[in-house]
Chains A and B, each alone.
Chain A
Amino acid sequence: MPALKLENVYKSFGSVEVLKDINLTVEDGDFVVFVGPSGCGKSTLLRVIAGLEDATKGDVFIGGEQVNDIPPSRRGIAMVFQSYALYPHLSVKANMSLGLKQEKQPKDLIESRVQKASEILSLNEYLDRHPAELSGGQRQRVAIGRAIVREPKLFLFDEPLSNLDAALRMNTRIEIAELHRTLSASMVYVTHDQTEAMTLADKIVVLRDGRIEQVGSPMELYNNPANQFVAGFLGSPAMNFLKKKDGQGGTIGIRPEHLRVAKKGKINGTITHIENLGSDTNLLVRTDTGEPLTIRMFGQHVMAVGNSISLTYDDEQAFEFDAKGHRVN
């Protein structure tokens, strides 16, 4: 039985259609990540799943049950918010146990679940503190703990790491991945950070303007994007796009790591900028036809800005798109 199923879901705010014909299945135990540019409707979709917004049209199934008319608290979900959203007047322990208390669960069950969650997240020392007395990372762990204790059928995360600094973000990302493994729970995770998407997901859902562009495993999307948008969205540095010279407005897409320096290559240009990252070197090049390109080379290279350079690539590693951005090869 799928953990989550969306059928023809639409959502409008007034006359603005924010979600259009969303169809999606999340299998039990899957980690699904929604990615897409800002404003594409990721949070709205998550709120529709949670029941915080009603879908204008369409059906939502959680654990095989239609939940269109069921309030958020009885959908068997738990949600972690970007802004933590801890109750400021309650201690960490009370924050974590409120949901179970509302469900009128027995005291010893609440106690043992809170104990278990705080062990997993190493929050034991902080149980009696208030949210104001915690650091950002600790607060986010409490928010995750609040979700865990409810033992939901489905976890929903809305950009849970975007308020954390880089080092903490990486640690917490790993923690979430481990959590997914130990709880073997189904999770839906929203982010616009593609590293998070690539590293966490079993399945990535790319959204754009309220529509699903493509669904697939990270490597599927990376190696076999359905269109120019998905191709450009995943991967860092982003894929290079060059105009085809066939006069029909088509485009060729080449990943930065698939370009290499050659004596007499297919593309000629000038180096405009060099990024030395130690392990990698990124070159920014302007082609003779005036198009910008990024090349990613392994290791360290000695180059100079302003030098001309010739580049080549293997045709089987290039993607071809038509004028509308659809994949053609």
Chain B
Amino acid sequence: MNKARHNKTNVIAAHAALIAYTLIALFPVFVIVINSFKTRRAIFREPLALPNADTFSMVGYETVLKQGDFFLYFQNSMIVTVVSLFFILLFGAMAAFALAEYRFKGNTLMGLYLALGIMIPIRIGTVAILDMMVATGLVNTLWALILVYTAQGLPLAVFILSEFMKQVSDDLKNAGRIDGLSEYRIFFNLVLPLVRPAMATVAVFNMIPIWNDLWFPLILAPAEEVKTLTLGSQVFIGQFVTDWNAVLSALSLAILPVMALYVVFSRQLIRGITSGAVK
């Protein structure tokens, strides 16, 4: 850190604010995790206490791992999230490149049309989507979810990525053209690496809603073998009794993969590889 520009009080104040924010943000997660290791009575008697010898219990995790096919749910969620993100990023980036790079009739209109999806929630079309999925025989397949989530994520992806792609130096793309690179190679080898931080942002934005979604799995893919983790966890929440141990354990487990994905993407966010390209 540059000493000349940072005096001590400022540094302390900034850190205090950041630490306070971190504590507030992490508190619910912390409560969920500690309670997942406690007996049911202890959860209700002292929700904020750490588990001790008396109250420690793995009963929640045991229920979760025994009940249903938890690892399958895990795997389903993972497949749906990763494949959807892949398609969102691939098609989003391609559309964004076309909008940012090529002058054609209706370019602006096309951009507006693609961005419209940001404002209209996809759930409004649930009935029509279900009809289509039934007609195409995709109900109760992971593809049903992947297609819907890809459609849901594309508008914002196109919007954000096209803004970033407009910033990529024209000279660099033109140098590639003069050297005989195809438009595909210009896209994949020159442009994509330079918008990697934006891609990571889009991925993070889309990942959480997809991972947590309950609506579409419930409607489009409720069958046992394609259940996602969020849907699978619902068996513990009844109308009259809820198995809190199991719910909290399931939630704690569900955090892990998202965290892993987040770490992957945020490394991309931080890595600035644009330096040296221009200027």
Q: Closest approach, in angstroms, between the C-beta of A123 and any C-beta of chain B?
A: 15
Contact yes or no, A72 B177, CB < 8 A: yes
For B157, list chain A residues within 8 Å (CB).
none
State how many residues of chain B have any CB contact under 8 Å with chain A.
Answer: 22
Are B279 and A83 in touch, CB under 8 angstroms?
yes
For residue B242, which residues in chain A have a CB less than 8 angstroms away from its CB?
Answer: none
Given contacts A83-B278, A86-B277, A130-B276, contact A73 B180 (CB under 8 A): yes
B276–A85 touching, CB < 8 Å: no
Q: Which of A303-329 contact B (CB under 8 A)?
A: none
A205 at the interface (CB under 8 A from B): no
Q: With an 8 A cutoff between CB atoms, is A77 at the interface?
A: yes
Chain B proximity of A16: nearest CB distance (Å) = 13
Closest chain A residue to B174, Cβ basis: A52
Check B129 for interface membership: any CB of A closer than 8 A.
Answer: no
| 1/0 contact string of B160-202 vs chain A (CB within 8 Å) | 0000000001011011111111000000011001100000000
Shortest distance between the CB of A162 and any CB in chain B (Å): 11
Q: Tell me, yes or no, whether B49 is within 8 Å of chain A by CB.
A: no
Most buried by A among B174, B178, B194: B178
The yes or no answer to A88 lying at the interface (CB within 8 A) is: yes
- A136–B179 alpha-carbon span in the complex (Å): 22
| A82 CA to B172 CA, complexed, in Å | 11
- Inside 8 A of B190's CB, which chain A residues have their CB? 87
CA distance in complex: A146, B279 (Å): 16
Known: A82-B171, A87-B172. A131 touches B277 (CB 8 A): yes
Tell me if B274 counts as interface (CB < 8 A to partner A).
yes
CB of B100 to closest CB in A, whole Å:
16
Q: How many pairs, one residue from A and one from B, have CB atoms within 8 Å of each other in the complex?
A: 80
B103 closest partner in A (C-beta): A13
Q: Are B175 and A81 in contact (CB under 8 A)?
A: yes
Give A179 to B185 CA distance when docked, in angstroms: 31
> CB-CB < 8 A to B194: which residues of A?
88
Q: Which of B247-278 contact A (CB under 8 A)?
A: 273-278
Measured CB to CB, the nearest residue on chain B to A78 is B178
Considering only CB atoms, which chain B residue lies closest to A152 in the complex?
Answer: B178
Binds B, one of A97-105, A180-188, A219-227, A244-252: A97-105
- The residue in chain A whose Cβ has the minimal distance to the Cβ of B172 is A85
B180 and A99 contact, CB distance less than 8 A? yes
The chain A residue with its CB closest to the CB of B177 is: A72
Whole-angstrom CA separation of A139 from B277 in the bound complex: 10
**Interface positions of B from 125 to 167, Cβ below 8 Å from A:** none
Known contacts being A73-B177, A89-B193, is A81 close to B279, with CB within 8 Å?
A: no
> Scoring A residues 117 to 161 as 1 if CB is less than 8 Å from chain B, else 0, what string do you get?
000000000000011111010010000001000000000000000
- Mask, A58-92, CB within 8 Å of B = 1, is 00000000000001111001110111111111000
* Residues of chain B having any CB pair with chain A under 8 Å: 169, 171-172, 174-181, 189-190, 193-194, 273-279
Not counting A84-B171, A102-B180, A131-B277, a sample of 6 additional A-B residue pairs whose C-beta atoms are within 8 angstroms of each other reads A50-B178, A71-B177, A82-B171, A87-B172, A88-B273, A102-B179
